[in-house]
Amino acid sequence: MRCLLLQTLALLVGWIGTALAEPNEPVGRQFHLRPSDLPAPFATASVANGARVVPRPAGARLNAPPGFSVALFAEGLSGPRWLTVAENGDVILAESAAGRLRVLADRDGDGRAEHNHMLLDGLERPHGLAIRGGYLYIGEPDRIVRIPYRAGDLRLRPPVEPVTPPGALGDGSGHWTRDIVFQPDGQAFYVSVGSRGNTAEEPPPRATVQRFNADGSGQRTFASGLRNAVGIAFHPPTGELYASVNERDRLGDGLVPDYLARLRDGGFYGWPYAYLGANPDPDFGAKRPDLVAGTIVPDTLFQAHSAPIGMVFYAGQQFPPEFRGDGFIALQGSWNAARPTGYKVVRVPFKDGRPTGTYENFVTGFWFEGRDRAVIFGRPAGLAVAKDGSLLIADDAGGALWRVSHGGR
């Protein structure tokens, strides 16, 4: 009987690792992808299959685990992408395509923003946001800028002050998002810089995370081989830097899994020569066998083409204790897969300060119809933990900000 049980569990784990995504996926569903289980390049055709975005149907809701609820915090927004939370609880939100920031405030504590003000406009595709030392730092495609800010401000007046030297982040073409995060002691900040294209040999700062002193001096490459590290964050319990990375497309449905990686100083993560360890890229692997051999294996693999965007580590008090220190990742959804995947927020469990290698569905339902082509009313992008410990989800396709709370709070 024990042998039969172990065989059944083994089969279940195998199913968990390879299960196809579906509309309204069940919350709690677990995934465990391993580099040893990867298909060969071009095992399936490369298919362009983007989602169809529709208005949110009447009565549509998002799914969350038992004990959790999801409600609108704000709506009527214009492509909300990234967000951060001020010390007083105000939410600063980047509407990237519109070139502006908004401040949303829930001053009466009912779980919905009753104040919505345009905080700052005239920006160039703002993305990353950080508050430090009386300034709001903003990631534009080719630079980091800052402007004086105090919690409670409802309007900021230009001009902004450049922090990084000209050319430090590339020209802003291709993958344009620039996330910014300060190390815990505030002595330095880090910026993610994506590649221009899908696969190519591109010099730094492309496909890297760059480190700067707090005043913008002392630039150096901290980690490389990262095709598009859209989100970066320090893990509060350990102080280690992690990145959510969008890997290359056009190698088939099963390649290449996107991932979460702990970034090592000087570490190389594969792009464009290899992926997920010493797996050579079919076009570029032979050019740098030394880098192929030295490619670091990431900590957690996501289904290929899921597009991990926002990431946050939970350090609040509202969710149950077992959530503290875990990661939440927004999987924005596929365009290059015959069977869609993503369009959800997942939880990445940690144990003893490291990811377990698994992830599980936490919020689903943005994708609500269509198996061969996803029909969605929203796409999760940026994430943040609110002052009250709830989880905020920016929905850039639905123009909304969602709030996940626990225990009816």
Average pLDDT rounded to a whole number, residues 122-129: 98
Ranges of beta strands (E only) in 281-322 are: 300-302, 308-313
Q: Which of 301, 358, 309 has its CA nearest to residue 38?
A: 301
Average pLDDT rounded to a whole number, residues 126-141: 99
pLDDT, position 23: 87
Average pLDDT rounded to a whole number, residues 325-341: 97
Tell me the pTM.
Answer: 0.94
pLDDT, position 10: 36
259: helix, strand or coil = strand
Distance separating alpha carbons of residues 373 and 370, to the nearest angstrom: 5
Distance separating alpha carbons of residues 67 and 407, to the nearest angstrom: 6
- Does residue 255 contact residue 275 with C-beta atoms inside 8 Å? yes
pLDDT, position 408: 72
Asked whether the predicted pLDDT for residue 154 surpasses 80, the reply is yes
The phi, psi pair for 292, rounded to 5°, reads -60, -45
* Per-residue pLDDT reduced to its tens digit, 210-245: 999 999 999 999 999 999 999 999 999 999 999 999
- Does residue 274 contact residue 286 with C-beta atoms inside 8 Å? no
pLDDT, position 20: 63
Distance separating alpha carbons of residues 164 and 339, to the nearest angstrom: 41
Contacts of 248 (CB under 8 A, 6+ apart): 198, 199, 227, 255, 256, 271, 272, 275, 281
Q: What is the DSSP letter of 122?
A: S
Query: Sorting pLDDT into bands at 50, 70 and 90, what band is 358?
Result: very high
- Does residue 17 contact residue 30 with C-beta atoms inside 8 Å? no
- Does residue 252 contact residue 339 with C-beta atoms inside 8 Å? no
Distance separating alpha carbons of residues 315 and 313, to the nearest angstrom: 6
Q: What is the DSSP letter of 322?
A: G
Average pLDDT rounded to a whole number, residues 96-108: 97
Average pLDDT rounded to a whole number, residues 356-371: 98
Distance separating alpha carbons of residues 52 and 373, to the nearest angstrom: 7
How does the average pLDDT of the chain come out, rounded? 95
Asked whether the predicted pLDDT for residue 8 surpasses 70, the reply is no
Residue 52: exposure state from Cβ atoms within 10 A (0-12, 13-18, ≥19): exposed
The phi, psi pair for 290, rounded to 5°, reads -65, -40
> Which percentage of the chain shows pLDDT scores above 70?
95
pLDDT, position 13: 39
Average pLDDT rounded to a whole number, residues 79-94: 98
pLDDT, position 306: 98
The count of residues in the chain is 409
CA within 13 Å, CB half, 52: 10
Average pLDDT rounded to a whole number, residues 145-160: 97
DSSP β-bridge partners for residue 44: none
* Per-residue pLDDT reduced to its tens digit, 163-188: 999 999 999 999 999 999 999 999 99
Name the residue ranges covered by the structural domains of the chain. 12-406
Asked whether the predicted pLDDT for residue 21 surpasses 80, the reply is no
CATH class, domain 12-406, is: mainly beta
Asked whether the predicted pLDDT for residue 77 surpasses 60, the reply is yes
